[in-house]
Amino acid sequence: MGPFMSPFNNLLCMLLGISFTVWFTLLLVFIIVPAIFGLSFGIRSLYMKTLLKVFKWATVRMERGAKEKNHLLYKPYSLNGIIAKEITSLEEELKEIRRNGSSRELDGSASTTTGPSPSSSEFEMSDTFYFCRRGIECIVDDEVTKCFTAEELESWNLLTRSNYNFQHISSRLTVLWGLGVVIRYGFLLPLRLTLAITGVSLLVVFTTMIGFLPNERVKNFLSEKVHLMCYRICVRALTAIITYHHSENKPKNGGICVANHTSPIDVIILASDGCYAMVGQIHGGLMGLIQKSMVKACPHIWFERSEVKDRHLVAKRLSDHVKDKSKLPILIFPEGTCINNTSVMMFKKGSFEIGSTVYPVAIKYDPRFGDAFWNSSKFGMVNYLLRMMSSWAIVCSVWYLPPMSRQEGEDAMQFANRVKAAIARQGGLVDLLWDGGLKRGKVKDTFKEEQQKLYSKILVGTQEDRSRS
């Protein structure tokens, strides 16, 4: 047995060596080298078009099979919500309620019924119907909670997490799904893991080496090239197909780039098309090692945990950075948390108080190929990245909007809301006023007090109007 096993082991080792050589050569020729020079052979675009044809066939077959079995397919709510609502003011709503169900109206005029018309500043029992209805609407159609759940699809893209009520409809669909599992986990996942490890390793090694260069001009030049190269390799590790629009508006040195936030890979998506100075908290482990190596080659802004809560210190560090026009633009996600690719939530005003030029960027992912949203309360970072790498692809569009500056008489919060509205409009996202902190916290008392003050002002204001008249 011994003499027989020795040649067999040698043959097995030789085959493994050949397989590894062929595997790495293919990666080098078709992925790594094109990524270094920013080239593309069009393989990913062809792959995306093929997937769309497969999805279309699967959807048609699924709908036909469901119709034959009298099975209703799940249809998700639209971006406008479950309940059809008309945008009206509190005053208009109260007027309508009093006109329909009360003996007096909000404006103090007499109603169609007989009898005296008391002062409109008096509390009217029918007013409570408005607040009860709004409360029930918020429970049934909670626009905040929807922002922190995965975006559901009407069609099935052969991922088990796409249409949660999918049932067996046909054997061909089941076989196609099984083939997809083999392709995604047997071929794509190992390929993407190899590329991700390669990209991160090159980033750590090269940025560390560049950090020892004394010449700042050469150092900055090489740092930008290395960052672009490594981020492009990492983008290919996700099979990311990105379309950039209006590149003439790309952020410039001395400015601040702000974008809506769906996923941690937003950084890679943007940084593969241009270099940025990152802002974030210092971490330990592998992430800490990457941060330390990156800051040696480029002036990124990392904060200690105790420093993050010091708003004045953060603002000063950011302000000092943007004043130096030789430094890269800062990349910030003002929402402070990931939103599920359907909406844009409240921007924190800190980055809008600095007084620098702001370059808005809108990012919109195509959910048909994979769900890019990171639900950090449900999945850890490693789990999330594995889910991304086992999806079909990451397809997204990036729009560079014209630079915006703070107008005269405009405070930081108004400026932030104006930028947020522009991003939402361009990306086809819902513009919400809610704070992303509601993902983990309760509604602040100030929100409740605002409604109470508004109702009080309406009553007091109508009483004053009647007194003057």
- How far is Cα 338 from Cα 174, in angstroms, rounded to an integer? 33
Residue 258 lies in a domain: yes
- Give the model's pLDDT for residue 400: 96
Domains held by the chain: number: 1
Domain that holds residue 339: 238-447
Residue 332 lies in a domain: yes
Pairing of strands 240-245, 301-303: unpaired
Q: Which two tokens mark 380?
A: 């850890």
- How far is Cα 52 from Cα 44, in angstroms, rounded to an integer? 12
Pairing of strands 277-281, 330-332: parallel
Pairing of strands 277-281, 256-259: unpaired
Please spell the DSSP secondary structure of 445-463, one letter per residue. HHHHHHHHHHHHHHHHHHH
Instruction: Determine contact, residues 367/387, Cβ cutoff 8 Å.
Output: no
**C-alpha distance from residue 218 to each of 212, 326, 327, 383, 408 (Å):** 11, 13, 14, 39, 40
- Give the model's pLDDT for residue 440: 66
C-alpha neighbours within 13 Å on the C-beta side of residue 324: 11
**C-alpha distance from residue 55 to each of 156, 157, 303, 359 (Å):** 7, 5, 45, 36
- Give the model's pLDDT for residue 169: 65
Per-position b or e across 53-80, b if 16+ CB within 10 A of its CB: eebeebbebbeebeeeeeeebeeeeeee
Q: Which residues contact 422 (CB under 8 A, 6 or more apart)?
A: 360, 401, 404
Residue predicted with more confidence, 20 or 246:
246
Q: Which residues contact 327 (CB under 8 A, 6 or more apart)?
A: 253, 254, 277, 299, 321
pLDDT tens, position by position, 315-327: 888 888 888 888 8
Under the banding of pLDDT at 50, 70 and 90, the label for residue 32 is confident
**Is the predicted pLDDT of residue 118 greater than 50, yes or no?**
no
Percent of the chain residues topping a pLDDT of 70: 67
Residue 380 lies in a domain: yes
C-alpha 125: how far from chain center: 43
Residue 28 lies in a domain: no
- Give the model's pLDDT for residue 117: 40
Q: Is 288 left (phi over 0), alpha (psi -120 to 50) or beta?
A: alpha
- Give the model's pLDDT for residue 109: 46
Residue 294 lies in a domain: yes
Q: Is 430 left (phi over 0), alpha (psi -120 to 50) or beta?
A: beta
Please spell the DSSP secondary structure of 41-102, one letter per residue. -SHHHHHHHHHHHHHHHHHHHHHHHHHHTT-PPP-PPPTT-SS------HHHHHHHHHHHH-
Rounded to the nearest 10°, the torsion over CA 101, 104, 110, 112 is: 20
Residue 459 lies in a domain: no
- Give the model's pLDDT for residue 112: 43
pLDDT tens, position by position, 84-102: 555 666 666 667 667 666 5
Predicted TM-score (pTM) of the model is: 0.76
3-state secondary structure of 281: strand
CATH code for the domain in which residue 382 is found: 3.40.1130
**Bridge partners of 257?**
331, 359
Residue 325 lies in a domain: yes
**Bridge partners of 399?**
245, 362
* Burial label, 45 (beta-carbon count in 10 A; 0-12, 13-18, 19+): exposed
pLDDT tens, position by position, 134-175: 776 666 666 677 777 776 666 667 775 444 445 556 777 788
- How far is Cα 374 from Cα 261, in angstroms, rounded to an integer? 10
Residue 244 lies in a domain: yes
pLDDT tens, position by position, 338-361: 888 888 988 988 888 887 889 999
- Give the model's pLDDT for residue 463: 46
Q: Which two tokens mark 117?
A: 């018309």
Residue predicted with more confidence, 465 or 97:
97
- How far is Cα 438 from Cα 35, in angstroms, rounded to an integer? 39
